[in-house]
Chains A and B, each alone.
Chain A
Amino acid sequence: DADVTQTPRNRITKTGKRIMLECSQTKGHDRMYWYRQDPGLGLRLIYYSFDVKDINKGEISDGYSVSRQAQAKFSLSLESAIPNQTALYFCATSAGRGTGDEKLFFGSGTQLSVL
């Protein structure tokens, strides 16, 4: 079983719809992240959470919200989806030991298309 699981793998939705992407992890990591990937733009950070009570905005948080339901679960919501939110979304985790040399573990991604 994957250590970082994202659901769904693919989603097609319409403009204006609310949609939630879910991420769960079995790695026991404190830190969780949501990134989006667009062709030619690399990965951009949307939100990140260093523990259940700590939520932080990334560089492109507008139009998104998150919920850290438990250490193992971090969901991303689009309250009213728009076409330019069409992208590949990744959840990632890291151990959060504060040593400054953390590596990220990624899920397989959710391909979201907003029509």
Chain B
Amino acid sequence: SQQGEEDPQALSIQEGENATMNCSYKTSINNLQWYRQNSGRGLVHLILIRSNEREKHSGRLRVTLDTSKKSSSLLITASRAADTASYFCATGGGSNYKLTFGKGTLLTVNP
């Protein structure tokens, strides 16, 4: 079963607005990652936050992690039409390290 669950399932905003997506997970993790998928194509890694970090930035992306609540959020600022894609969180942990993906949030940015 999936470890991470994204919320909302779908989000539609206007260009220039900020987009916030959330991810909740169930067990302890080493890190949490966010990936992006353009329609039908392979996933692309966006950002990784370690379990001992609370916030991380990369360009227009801001990720937060609250391990006490087992949740993370991805903020995309000043969104563009080209940001339209599905966004997935993935959690990794344990000695037999592998990533488990959530079901994704479909973001639509309208011009």
Contact = CB atoms under 8 A, between A and B. Distances in A.
Contact of B98 (A4, A33, A88, A106): A33
A1 interface: no
A42 B45 contact: no
B100 A45 contact: yes
Interface in A33-88: 33, 35, 40-45, 48, 56, 58-59, 88
Contacts of A48: 98
A98 B98 CA distance: 11
Interface range on chain B (Cβ under 8 Å from partner) = 20 to 34
Contacts, number: 60
A42 B103 CA distance: 4
Contact of A45 (B35, B44, B98, B104): B98
B43 A106 contact: yes
Nearest to A108: B42
13 contacts: A41-B103, A43-B101, A56-B96, A58-B98, A59-B1, A90-B42, A100-B30, A100-B92, A100-B93, A100-B97, A102-B92, A103-B33, A109-B42
Interface of A: 4, 33, 35, 40-45, 48, 56, 58-59, 88, 90, 92, 98, 100-109, 111
